[in-house]
């Protein structure tokens, strides 16, 4: 199986050859220089291949740009986490789930490892209210329980 850097460099080489071919054809036409001595069928195939090479290169450029953007986002998150801004990063994470202020408070307490009964006592609310808030948090974040919720946060923010 071919590795990714090899494919990238192969496409770059194909693009360079395609660009050189097209430039030579244009320069030869403008300056009256001889073009490559190819039969018209071969010339058409070369032009089709060159065009496909350029299109594949453009597609690869988009894919690599998207990956670079994702990597940059992950690096920025890691930098912020290591610079002591963990609370801010997690708060932004909770905002993505569109949690209410009460749900955000409960989510923080869940993240700290507190049990539902402890959260109810600390917030001076009923156990049923905290259970409903936890269910809402889990639903909004796409998980089924506390351990998955914490695992998702760790995985999304730290990995």
Same domain, 70 and 125: no
Same domain, 102 and 62: no
Domain that holds residue 66: 4-82
Q: What is the pLDDT of residues 56-98, one digit of tens each?
A: 878 888 888 898 888 888 777 777 666 667 777 788 888 889 9
Q: How many domains does the chain have?
A: 2
Same domain, 127 and 146: yes
Same domain, 72 and 25: yes
pTM: 0.50
Determine the Cα angle at 133 with ends 132 and 139, to 5°: 90
Q: How many CB atoms lie within 10 A of CB 101?
A: 7
Same domain, 100 and 53: no
Q: Which of 25, 50, 82 is the last residue of a domain?
A: 82
Q: What is the pLDDT of residues 16-52, one digit of tens each?
A: 887 787 888 888 889 888 777 778 788 788 778 778 8
Same domain, 11 and 76: yes
In this prediction, residue 107 carries a pLDDT of 93
> How far is Cα 87 from Cα 153, in angstroms, rounded to an integer?
12
Is residue 130 a contact partner of residue 137, using CB atoms and an 8 Å limit? no
Residue 9: which pLDDT band, with cuts at 50, 70 and 90? confident
**Start-to-end C-alpha separation, the chain:** 27
Same domain, 115 and 140: yes
């Amino acid at each position: 199986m071919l590795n990714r850097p090899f494919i990238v460099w192969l496409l770059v080489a194909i693009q360079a050859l395609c660009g050189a071919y097209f430039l030579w054809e244009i320069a030869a036409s403008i300056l009256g220089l001889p073009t490559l001595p190819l039969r018209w069928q071969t010339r058409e195939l070369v032009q089709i291949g060159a065009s496909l090479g350029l299109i594949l290169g453009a597609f690869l450029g988009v894919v690599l740009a998207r990956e670079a953007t994702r990597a940059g986002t992950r690096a920025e998150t890691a930098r912020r986490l290591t610079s002591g801004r963990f609370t801010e990063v997690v708060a932004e994470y909770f905002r993505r789930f569109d949690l209410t202020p009460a749900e955000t408070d409960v989510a923080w307490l869940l993240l700290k490892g507190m049990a539902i009964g402890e959260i109810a006592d600390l917030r001076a609310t009923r156990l049923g209210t905290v259970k409903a808030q936890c269910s809402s948090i889990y639903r909004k974040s796409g998980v089924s329980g506390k351990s998955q919720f914490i695992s998702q946060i760790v995985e999304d923010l730290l990995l």
